[in-house]
Amino acid sequence: MWLAGIFPQGHPNLLAPAMGALKRIAKPAVEAHHGLPVKVPTFVSTDLPDWDLHAFCREHNWRVWLKGPYYDAARTPTWDSFVAARDALAKVWSTDRLFLQAHVTGYEESVMLAAYRGELLDCVSMRKRDITPEGKTWAGDIAPVQPEFGEPLRAMVRELDWTGGGELEMVRDASGELWLLEMNPRFPAWVHGATIAGHNLPALLVEAAAGVPARKSQAQASEFTRVVLEVPVREDYPLPPLAEPLAGAVGHSMKHPSGLTSLAERLHKSNPELIELVEDMSEGADGAPQLPDSFLHDIGGYDLAAVQTPQFLYLDSTAGTLFERASQRARRLSSNEVQVVSGYSIKTNPDERLIRLALDNGFLAEAISLLEVQKALEVGFRPDQVILNGPGKWWPEGMMPKERLHAVFCDSIADLDRCVAAMAAGEMSSRHVGIRLRTPNVVSRFGIPLDSPMTFGKLVDAVARLPEDSAFGVHFHMASSNIGVAQWWHLFESMLKWCESIERLTGRTIEILDMGGGWFPDDWHAADDDRFARAVERVKAALPGVRQIVSEPGKAMAQPSMAVAMRILEIQEHEDDYVEAVVDGSIAELPMFAFQPHRILRQCADTGALQPLGRGKTHLMGRLCMEHDIVASNVALPDGTRAGDVLIFCDAGGYDRSMSYVFGRG
């Protein structure tokens, strides 16, 4: 890039591509790839609002890569790892132009090429056979490039007027489809591996440029591997001391010993146009999130000037609408044979207003302790509208209602035996008694395991001990917000298969199927009825005895229903537009900061208008004296923001509310 910046049209002594070619292979779109039999994995710019980036991660099962414009890619399987990697990559490469790309599972292969003034001199294909922990090639096999690939490649090289080496990095998925990860304007590190197999591409390049014929290279093998070799060091060229590790650095300062990161920084400063090479994917977006009108309406109803901050704000019409919509959907999906119903997960937010909304909208109440059962009964639920779940369902002792509950799901075989004994003694009664299954293949500490013949045998024996006068049922719960939406549906299918086996082996009919909660609000409310209707049909077909399908939304209902108001205490401006602002809220009021973004509004002190915060270089730091108390990163405070202004963190009505704690208040 640097050389191309100096010689935009190329230079006779420079065996490297010119600016025009570099622009057309810029990551991530690699515009020049059209014509090659490859696809580019789906990606988004990190200029999008955090809210949308989180949705992208969920959609792609958290199998995503955060990539910079030049080198480096980080897998970010969780929200906090994404936020940390974004900070690190932006700093190391001196650019905010990063992107998130969906992972493609498969085997990695590459094509290396050499070209001179648009003529393809040779190309060769390599499959990685062994890799380093960073995914770099350690061993590989070399093969000729197939004509279906080679012919369009030749056309592409001509069109780009390419000079120099090049590498197309790809993944071949299980169906044989090729995915282009990137095209690098240089020979890859395994270049010598190919010469071992008879393809000396650098020699052909020099031959074309110099007109001096290269010596013919001999193929010694079609595979190569690296070895590590220790060599003596000459006394007159002693080793330098080991670079001093920076305090707290996570390897990044050491990872590019060639000084490339310093070069990137200097190039950006000396020639800001160079960064133009890097695709601007923002399309003018400022990273400000979309907010439902009801948020603005409900927040607008508060006299924020009078609010003691930090303070949770209940969003009345928002909460009402969420429960209404869920109840309407349940009605639409229900039929005479199978009823579809929701159970509100009390632990997610035990606020009485939400429990009452659940009651008024035909929900069941889902409790994981007897105190929660108590709370549901106090708000007005009948015992036969309560589902009791979880490993701690006997706590606190002595509070189990004597009346018939709607459903009880046993979390372990010990729990099942205790329930059986209690029911025999008349200490507990339930219309449905079932088991919670431990999800196979997705790690979970809950439920009865079934993934070995022996544990499955124990489960089948235990089910045989359940009383015949209660209907039988199965429950599973795994948060799709963590494992991703597609993977959740995959789990659902696999659970149906396990349920069929359980029915066959125990002779008991499953009458209630409870699919748990764990839905991110947008995934639950935005999904069309179709997806759920198909799921109902799948249940009917696989388990014809099921009379009721239950889901247990917690955060899908509660999370949007509250916001936290905070005040800015102080604004500190640093060089290069970096801003640090301290607020009177903290992670004690937003304990979910590591798991999900929050859409943030600022109330303009002059007009009272609510303005969403977009993308920028401001970090909002909580009031606590704790290093990790950063409530938002990479946001921009609107012009004119001053100390004393109120910020509203939306999406805080789920576990932020229920798990918030008292800290630093004397």
Ligand X SMILES: *Cc1c(COP(=O)(O)O)cnc(C)c1O
Give whichever of 26 and 479 is closer to ligand X, judged by the CB atom: 479
What are the residues whose beta carbons fall under 8 Å from the beta carbon of 34, sequence distance 6 or more? Answer: none
Q: Which of residues 84-123 bind ligand X (CB under 6 A)?
A: none
Distance CA 433, CA 430 (A): 6
Q: Does 553 bind ligand X (CB under 6 A)?
A: yes
CA 354 to chain centre: 28
Q: At closest approach, how far in Å is the CB of 551 from ligand X? A: 8
Asked if 617 contacts 571 with a C-beta cutoff of 8 angstroms, the reply is no
Give whichever of 199 and 347 is closer to ligand X, judged by the CB atom: 347
Phi and psi at residue 96, to the nearest 5°: -95, 0
- Identify any residues that bridge with 610 across adjacent strands, giving them in sequence order: 603
Distance CA 403, CA 381 (A): 12
Q: At closest approach, how far in Å is the CB of 521 from ligand X? A: 9
Residues 347, 432, 525, 598: which binds ligand X (CB under 6 A)?
347
Q: Does 556 bind ligand X (CB under 6 A)?
A: yes
- Could you report how far apart the first and last alpha carbons of the chain are, in Å? 57
Residues 68, 287, 390, 560: which binds ligand X (CB under 6 A)?
390
Residues 518, 612, 616, 653: which binds ligand X (CB under 6 A)?
518
Distance CA 221, CA 249 (A): 42
Q: How many CA atoms lie within 13 A of 27 on its CB side?
A: 24
Q: How many CB atoms lie within 10 A of CB 589?
A: 27
> For residue 521, which of 463, 455, 592, 588 has the smallest C-alpha distance?
592
Q: At closest approach, how far in Å is the CB of 17 from ligand X? A: 50
For the CA atoms of 172, 177, 179, 185, what is the dihedral angle to 10 degrees?
80
Q: Does 185 bind ligand X (CB under 6 A)?
A: no
Q: At closest approach, how far in Å is the CB of 356 from ligand X? A: 18
Distance CA 221, CA 198 (A): 8
Give whichever of 200 and 480 is closer to ligand X, judged by the CB atom: 480
What are the residues whose beta carbons fall under 8 Å from the beta carbon of 99, sequence distance 6 or more? Answer: 27, 28, 43, 44, 45, 46, 66, 67, 281
Residues 389, 439, 596, 618: which binds ligand X (CB under 6 A)?
389
Distance CA 5, CA 213 (A): 31
Q: Which window, 5-13, 299-307, 510-518, 538-546, contacts ligand X (CB under 6 A)? A: 510-518
Radius of gyration of the chain (CA): 30
Q: Does 342 bind ligand X (CB under 6 A)?
A: no
Strands 429-436 and 471-475, bridge-based pairing = parallel
Q: Does 484 bind ligand X (CB under 6 A)?
A: no
Q: At closest approach, how far in Å is the CB of 46 from ligand X? A: 26
Locate 236 and state its tokens.
Answer: 């007159």
Give whichever of 348 and 439 is closer to ligand X, judged by the CB atom: 348
Q: Does 406 bind ligand X (CB under 6 A)?
A: no
Residues 298, 552, 645, 651: which binds ligand X (CB under 6 A)?
552
Q: At closest approach, how far in Å is the CB of 422 from ligand X? A: 20
Q: Which window, 69-77, 185-193, 230-238, 546-554, contacts ligand X (CB under 6 A)? A: 546-554
Give whichever of 387 and 581 is closer to ligand X, judged by the CB atom: 387
Q: Which window, 199-207, 262-270, 457-465, 515-523, contacts ligand X (CB under 6 A)? A: 515-523
Q: At closest approach, how far in Å is the CB of 387 from ligand X? A: 8
Q: Which of residues 262-301 bind ligand X (CB under 6 A)?
A: none
Q: Does 368 bind ligand X (CB under 6 A)?
A: yes
Q: Does 554 bind ligand X (CB under 6 A)?
A: yes
Q: Does 519 bind ligand X (CB under 6 A)?
A: yes
Locate 291 and state its tokens.
Answer: 């907010």
Q: At closest approach, how far in Å is the CB of 248 from ligand X? A: 33
Q: Does 171 bind ligand X (CB under 6 A)?
A: no
Q: Which window, 8-16, 144-152, 309-317, 553-561, contacts ligand X (CB under 6 A)? A: 553-561
Distance CA 581, CA 623 (A): 10
Helix spans in 484-630 (H) = 485-506, 521-526, 529-542, 555-558
Q: At closest approach, how far in Å is the CB of 651 from ligand X? A: 13
Strands 73-75 and 579-583, bridge-based pairing = unpaired
Q: How many residues bind ligand X (CB under 6 A)?
A: 18
Give whichever of 411 and 645 is closer to ligand X, judged by the CB atom: 411
Q: Does 366 bind ligand X (CB under 6 A)?
A: yes
Q: Does 348 bind ligand X (CB under 6 A)?
A: yes
Q: At closest approach, how far in Å is the CB of 557 from ligand X? A: 8
Q: Which window, 14-22, 77-85, 148-156, 514-522, contacts ligand X (CB under 6 A)? A: 514-522
State whether residue 552 is helix, strand or coil: coil
Q: Does 67 bind ligand X (CB under 6 A)?
A: no
What are the residues whose beta carbons fall under 8 Å from the beta carbon of 613, sequence distance 6 or more? Answer: 288, 600, 601, 602, 632, 635, 636, 637, 638, 647
Q: Which helix (H) or strand (E) holds 656?
A: helix 655-658
Give whichever of 33 and 438 is closer to ligand X, judged by the CB atom: 438
Q: Does 69 bind ligand X (CB under 6 A)?
A: no
Buried b (16+ CB within 10 A) or exposed e, 634-666: bbbbbeebeeebbbbbbbbbbbbbbebeeeeee
- Identify any residues that bridge with 170 across adjacent strands, giving them in sequence order: 109, 180
Q: At closest approach, how far in Å is the CB of 347 from ligand X? A: 5
Asked if 459 contacts 410 with a C-beta cutoff of 8 angstroms, the reply is no
Distance CA 279, CA 282 (A): 9
Q: Does 555 bind ligand X (CB under 6 A)?
A: yes
Q: Does 205 bind ligand X (CB under 6 A)?
A: no
Give whichever of 120 and 367 is closer to ligand X, judged by the CB atom: 367
Distance CA 406, CA 344 (A): 13
Give whichever of 318 and 389 is closer to ligand X, judged by the CB atom: 389
Q: Does 623 bind ligand X (CB under 6 A)?
A: no
Distance CA 355, CA 377 (A): 10
Phi and psi at residue 76, to the nearest 5°: -125, 85
Q: How many CB atoms lie within 10 A of CB 413?
A: 18
Amino acid at 293: D
Q: At closest approach, how far in Å is the CB of 455 from ligand X? A: 21
Q: Which window, 164-172, 222-230, 513-521, 658-666, contacts ligand X (CB under 6 A)? A: 513-521
Residues 479, 512, 601, 631: which binds ligand X (CB under 6 A)?
479
Give whichever of 477 and 623 is closer to ligand X, judged by the CB atom: 477
Locate 446 and state its tokens.
Answer: 């809950």
Give whichever of 347 and 619 is closer to ligand X, judged by the CB atom: 347
Q: At closest approach, how far in Å is the CB of 368 from ligand X? A: 5
Q: At closest approach, how far in Å is the CB of 556 from ligand X? A: 6
State whether residue 349 is helix, strand or coil: coil
Q: How many CB atoms lie within 10 A of CB 42?
A: 14
DSSP letter at 368 equals S
Which residue has its beta carbon closest to ligand X? 554
Give whichever of 338 and 388 is closer to ligand X, judged by the CB atom: 388
Give whichever of 27 and 555 is closer to ligand X, judged by the CB atom: 555
Enumerate binding residues for ligand X (CB under 6 A): 345, 347-348, 366, 368, 389-390, 477, 479, 516-519, 552-556
